[in-house]
Chains A and B, each alone.
Chain A
Amino acid sequence: MTEEVPTVGHLLDRLAATYPQLARAMESEDSLVNVAINEEMFLEGIRGLPLKSGDRVELIQAFSGG
């Protein structure tokens, strides 16, 4: 991102505006997308997580077990 996004929520909204298909996928009942910031995955309160310049954000599958 080249514009400031202070939280993960802002980032997701920005991504959703650019990629509507991604937004639909993330909102579906079967959405299995988690957020990892700088190689650390978070499991709750996702939208409020703060971001700073230079953070690396990954959307990764939320799976466990196996």
Chain B
Amino acid sequence: MIRERVDRLLARLATESQFPTQGRTLFVDLERQAVREAYTPRSVVEAFLGGRGVNMFYLANLLDPSLHPEHPDIPLVYGSGIATGIIPSASRGNLTSWSPDSRILMDSNAGDYFASFLRLNGIDHLVLYGRAANPTLLFIEGGALTFRDATPYAGMNNVDLRARVAQDFDGRWGGNLAMINIGEAGERGVRVAGVMTGPKSLHARGGTGAKMGSLNLKAIVIRGITKLEYAHPESVPPKNRDIARQFMSTGVGKILHERGTPFLYKPSRQLWAMGTKNNQETVWVPDLDSENFDRFRPSMTGCFRCPVNCRPMNDITSVYPSDPELAALVAHVDALGYDGKRYLTGDGPEYVTVGKFGPNMGVKKPEHVIYLNNICNDLGLDTAGTGGNLSWAFELYQRGLLTAKETGGLRLEWGDLRVIAELLFLTAKREGFGRAIAAGSRAVDEGFYPPGSEKYRMAVKRTMQSDPHDARILKAFALGLAVATRGFDHLRNRVTLEINARINDDPAYKARLYGGPVSGKPNSYEGKELAVKVCEEVYAVGDAVGMCRFTTKLFNSPSLPGYGEFREQIRNATGLDLSEEHLTAIGANIRGIERMINATLGVTRKDDTVPDRWFEEPIKGGPYTGERVDRVQFDAMLTRFYDLCKLNAEGVPTVDWREELNRIVFGYNVTFPGLLPNPRTGRSR
């Protein structure tokens, strides 16, 4: 079935490059070990640009909603941004499919080196399908892809795999080698497993690792890069220098360079918006403020040609074995059959991991969070999804909905480091109570938890929250999390500047920033739909460019590169002259096609919401004591968002726009007088 779809799609694709720097799209049949190639048509690039946007074009054409996400006929699509590997800090790529966990759109953006290496091998997209007969590794060199037997790597986790691959392929990470890969968790279909792109970076959210594992694909390795031929080669380097200077001179650029993302912990804590113990509480200890990680951060590192270098390396050997809890934890990991000392050094953590394995799990010390972070990196576990599912289980245990009988004797008590670590290993192996964590959104359906447990699952569209910020106070955050197309997620549209008092106290400036009035009161509902819309569009374009979110305009600073800089450098590199208005429309198109894909998978308006806890339980202290989300006002804000974004009452593009998108994506459009029943649910829409 997938092959027929690929045949039909290939007939509509271009056979030659459409513009300077454009790379090929490779259709990789893992079952038959066959590769076909084509180029994305210019009309599609003009509608969706590249990376995440063009991935949606491929997924929409190849998705068969009558199957299931792990079916090998459901493709896994990788895409580098149109300027990935060209603009400094544009080192990102997206991994897209139908999520094994949320069962809606899966789309995950990550950096490190792989996305840039792919593009600098003349390949923009990989469409992977079919289940390989044996564990398989794809090797790319000089733009050519070959199939390798990955049986020797089967069952290996990240630390060992990276060492072994570097040796076998005679290369060096951060030099001439790049890789995406899964660990044993992905091989076993764990729904909180990610696809690693480095020692720490991974494609998180939605179970990307489980999807890659379903194709029996262990890794894709690239050795070496080539030089791209730009449309205006003399203009690219000076503009790149301008862009780098621009983001390095902002406050956010400077602190990222110094400490990385953990600096985000303190503002959320001081606002009483730090998700704690599965969001039962919203404030936690100052011990996890980023300055307390300083002594465990020997150096910083970064993604391909990015001057920000925001990734902290870690080393906690200075407190081992003097910290008795850490010593006991290492001994416990040893007793489980692993090398406990291996996790005393590593890469990270990011703020998300600090939040998910700190306050969310009742853990108080930086060195303990770092140790758990290092285990997750080795096992290839997404710390957001894993942390969210762990805290859900711990709250169920706290409430007596789970007992030691169901957990295999484990006492799920907040802050118990040994239990948390043991559960990580059990989850990756899908053993014991780890099977419940590995089940992700289906833990109730599969009988691990009693009916009614969903009430305590902090999820939207079956997806655990991506970041630790509790959004009962900031209503723009709540709306953004509700409408994000891949589930409960802040990176699609977060109006981060809502947390900036100077901007909130300057209504005229704020109106200029978003193109209309947005209330300066962070807990107000007024105008927030406009801010979410504007952020969602520029972030979607940033992803399609390949730019890091932290160096994209409006994400924590109004002074970062945005449409203007993207436009100029896209023109310099590719020759495509896309106006700023055109780029804005591309951002909207990406939202539109993603919502159309989700509608096919059964998503409707009722799914654009936040957990009941945020409607029902007020914040218990701090400057916004008593704050919660009001259902009526939230619903009205959602309606305004739909209207502003040209979405109908169910949150999909209006008929005229849908017809337009259909023609671009599918090459034709058929309009019915009413909406047809959803093909998956049979329900009318």
Contacts and interface: CB of A to CB of B under 8 A. Distances in A.
Contact of B251 (A42, A47, A61): A61
A26 to B, nearest CB: 7
A54 interface: no
A26 B469 CA distance: 25
Contact of A32 (B549, B556, B623): B556
B33 interface: no
Contact of B350 (A26, A33, A35, A66): A66
Interface in A33-61: 33-36, 39-47, 58, 60-61
Contact of A64 (B251, B496, B520, B521): B496
B263 interface: yes
A28 B467 CA distance: 29
Given A66-B350, A66-B351, A60 B266 contact: yes
Given A35-B501, A43-B504, A46-B505, A64 B268 contact: yes
B499 interface: yes
Contacts of A29: 558-559
Nearest to B268: A64
A39 B261 CA distance: 20
Interface string B426-442: 00000000000000000
Interface centre among A41, A44, A64 (most CB of B within 10 A): A64
B401 interface: no
Contacts of A34: 267, 499-501
A8 to B, nearest CB: 10
Contacts of B252: 32, 63
B522 interface: yes
B502 interface: yes
A65 B500 contact: no
A4 interface: no
B501 A46 contact: yes
Contacts of B286: 39
A30 interface: yes
A41 B269 CA distance: 9
A43 B500 CA distance: 6
B256 to A, nearest CB: 9
A63 B262 CA distance: 11
Given A32-B556, A34-B499, A62 B267 contact: yes
Contacts of A7: none
B505 A45 contact: yes
B271 A32 contact: no
B296 interface: no
B444 interface: no
A7 to B, nearest CB: 13
A26 B502 contact: yes
Contacts of A33: 502
Contact of A63 (B264, B491, B505): B264
Contact of B499 (A39, A47, A58, A62): A62
A29 B520 CA distance: 16
A52 B266 CA distance: 23
Interface centre among B500, B501, B558 (most CB of A within 10 A): B501
B204 interface: no
B642 interface: no
A43 B498 contact: yes
Given A60-B266, A62-B500, A63-B556, A44 B467 contact: no
Contacts of B566: none
B499 A63 contact: yes
A65 B494 contact: yes
Interface centre among B522, B549, B557 (most CB of A within 10 A): B557
A19 B553 CA distance: 29
Interface string B265-287: 01110111000000000000010
Contacts of B522: 43-44
Interface residues on B, range: 35 or more
Interface string B465-500: 001010000100100000000000011001010111
Nearest to B520: A44
B352 A40 contact: no
B559 A43 contact: no
A64 B499 contact: yes
B266 A64 contact: no
Contact of B267 (A30, A41, A45): A41
Interface in B513-543: 520-522
B622 interface: yes
A44 B501 contact: yes
A62 B459 CA distance: 26
B641 interface: no
B264 A44 contact: no
B239 to A, nearest CB: 21
Contacts of A60: 266-267, 270
A56 to B, nearest CB: 11
Interface in B145-193: none
Interface centre among B249, B252, B350, B558 (most CB of A within 10 A): B252
Contact of B623 (A30, A41, A58, A61): A41
Contact of B263 (A26, A36, A61): A61
A26 B502 CA distance: 8
A46 B351 CA distance: 26
Contact of A30 (B504, B521, B555, B559): B559
B250 to A, nearest CB: 5
A44 B555 CA distance: 19
B269 to A, nearest CB: 8
A63 B544 CA distance: 24
Contact of A65 (B264, B266, B501, B505): B264
Contacts of B559: 29-30
Nearest to A62: B500
B267 A65 contact: no
Interface centre among B271, B490, B520, B559 (most CB of A within 10 A): B271
A45 B520 CA distance: 9
B270 A66 contact: no
Contacts of A47: 505
B255 interface: yes
List the 5 closest pairs (A to B, CB-CB), nearest first. A41-B270, A66-B351, A32-B251, A62-B500, A64-B499
Interface of A: 26, 29-36, 39-47, 58, 60-66
23 contacts: A26-B502, A29-B559, A30-B250, A30-B251, A31-B251, A32-B251, A32-B252, A34-B499, A39-B270, A39-B286, A40-B622, A43-B498, A43-B500, A44-B505, A45-B505, A60-B266, A60-B267, A62-B267, A62-B502, A63-B255, A64-B264, A65-B556, A66-B350
Given A32-B556, A44-B505, A65-B491, 8 more contacts: A30-B251, A31-B500, A32-B252, A63-B252, A63-B499, A64-B477, A64-B499, A66-B351
